Chains A and B, each alone.
Chain A
């Protein structure tokens, strides 16, 4: 397949593997955090780890939109569908994430709630048009990649005069999360998470550009390489990071030049800015409350804000006890460190969000990589 196979070429991979092995300093270890679940997925799906020397370790980051949504927001979505009787439109990945007492959207749907799986915001608008006597809520999640389509949907609804459409906005911001991972490691982590450099987001950076990472790289003195989602992208970015680390540099470099510019997609940024503004703080699964890390709908578009239109109740939301998703999302633990991994928690019966989403680290470990880790014992038990 043209424009894809070139980035999965085995011969080039072998050349890059040699270069990495030559340039990696054998007297030290390199801990590289791949921010995005898309990277984690590529690393496992193509077996990139097999081409790395032993002293390069990937630390999996929090860049999985489904994984970082806190249980309370999911419980709120379930309540919107069940108590307020709305048609709740959601991306498919969200359906199976367990909420409090393992209540997921798919269970609520089975019990009669009107929950529809959609592929794009255009589908949600169509459902609103087709059901003028029903309230239709789009459950918006995701990083900066999925935010512009949400903004466009609100503008479109306004232009069409759709009064039964609103958005439950849960969009989060990448640079704030990277800063948080580096700046305030959770005191519960026995050892501080060690990170020598970042493989920076690819799709997110196509929207926001590479510029927003510059302040963090400088402040925390950690190199960032914006990295595409193909396996050769990952390998080339690893080489670029190793070079920066060896030379003591901490710059924002861009490996994904075929898509990402320093300024990003300014048109998309303007659309988002028109409709949304920063929240003072937002709760993330794993990271806790992070300042300036999420977006809400601006007051002038309050008519399309589900949080304003429907009062959701205060609730005691709780994750499954002993689920290690939070520590895994901070990079403090590996999926195989979790007692539940592969025993009670599998993709068929997920206890935490990281096992549900195809971008989650637990799902990647389990589905692609479980022959690598000493998980044999657990597997036999499963």
Chain B
């Protein structure tokens, strides 16, 4: 390797304006950090545009900006999250992800050691998912104009011919499944937020779901809807589906998996786990007769071991999501207005 000047000391250095200036410093950053860790045959072509062949079929594409605080959290960091988030968006179309891109906005003064840690984590996540990052971009903004690092990723994938997953497919009578416990990611993040730190063993569930999805669509190509309940949690995602498809939902609170630690943290903070973000879980709507087969496939996959049926789609043109409470009553599970806030009284 060539001599690295002191701006690129990954032990003590930090990002400065020259790293986005188009000169030698930028070239070195790209070469010694991004290319080195994310290396693959397409990226290594070294062009601004990645060139590749695509298989026959329908392509899907999705893009997602990641602006998380804190950047490092139990169970992941912004790097792994940026990979998982986009892969999951592609996978929720029932697609097999093929390629990804990554755009970085770095804030002046951001430690290079942290940046390297993030890029290594992205590289690890992409390798594990077997989806290469084939092109990217770096910009630097002045101190105070960013929050350390923002990462935007785009994913490209291909959908099997017999799979037509769409939110509008929700119909009364379908079963509602989730792949595992709700709220892990959001609680892990909150536990590390400044001003709110608390001790917990909870780790983010951040994970790439495309292999779970592949197993599911192979077994039941007729899956109606797949969604990953990220921001706004289970409640927001179900409301979105209900509104789009003009159907109602009836959930069974007792059937919704929530880890005791997550339930306890939410209780303490006055939050509802149904509104807390997930980054490695999916919601699936399928015909009632496919439920058992699908559950079995999901439970055989490590990311679906806690899969459960949590309710059913019902007729309701107002699109209300309702729930039988564990207490024996009934309530609406509404959209979240603004952000969930810890209680004050």
Contacts and interface: CB of A to CB of B under 8 A. Distances in A.
B318 A376 contact: yes
Interface string B232-248: 00000000000000000
A359 B337 CA distance: 13
Contacts of B328: 10, 13-14, 17, 47, 50-51
Contacts of B334: 347, 366-368
Interface string A30-49: 00000011100000111111
A66 B341 CA distance: 13
A358 B330 CA distance: 18
A143 B337 contact: no
A142 interface: yes
B325 A348 contact: no
B345 A47 contact: no
Contacts of A190: none
Contact of A145 (B267, B326, B342, B345): B345
A126 B331 CA distance: 40
A370 B222 CA distance: 34
A1 B318 contact: no
Interface in A143-158: 143, 145-146
B329 A48 contact: yes
Contacts of B281: none
Interface in A345-382: 346-348, 350, 358-359, 363, 366-371, 376, 379-380
22 contacts: A1-B260, A4-B264, A37-B345, A38-B345, A45-B325, A46-B325, A46-B327, A47-B327, A47-B329, A50-B329, A51-B328, A65-B344, A91-B341, A91-B344, A93-B344, A119-B342, A145-B345, A347-B338, A348-B337, A366-B334, A367-B332, A370-B320
A149 to B, nearest CB: 10
Interface in B288-342: 318, 320, 322, 325-332, 334-335, 337-339, 341-342
A359 B345 contact: yes
A359 B335 CA distance: 16
Contacts of B329: 46-51
Nearest to B323: A47
Given A1-B267, A8-B326, A380-B318, A46 B345 contact: no
B345 A143 contact: yes
What bracket does the count of chain A residues touching chain B fall in? 35 or more
A8 B327 contact: yes
Contacts of A119: 195-196, 342
Nearest to B194: A123
A371 B344 contact: no
A75 to B, nearest CB: 21
B325 A370 contact: no
A92 B335 CA distance: 18
A108 B329 CA distance: 40
A222 interface: no
B220 interface: no
Contacts of B322: 371
Interface of B: 195-196, 260, 263-264, 267, 270, 318, 320, 322, 325-332, 334-335, 337-339, 341-345
A118 interface: yes
A350 to B, nearest CB: 8
Nearest to B258: A1
Given A10-B326, A46-B325, A379-B318, A142 B344 contact: yes
Contacts of A330: none
B260, B322, B328 — most chain A CB neighbours (10 Å): B328
Given A358-B341, A380-B318, A118 B327 contact: no
Nearest to B343: A358
A370 B327 contact: no
B327 A1 contact: no
Contacts of B335: 347-348
B258 to A, nearest CB: 9
A61 interface: no
Contacts of B270: 358
Contacts of B267: 1, 4
Nearest to A44: B331
B196 A47 contact: no
Contact of B327 (A10, A36, A65): A10
A204 to B, nearest CB: 8
B327 A231 contact: yes
Given A146-B345, A350-B337, A371-B320, 9 more contacts: A10-B326, A13-B328, A36-B345, A47-B330, A47-B331, A51-B328, A117-B341, A347-B337, A358-B270
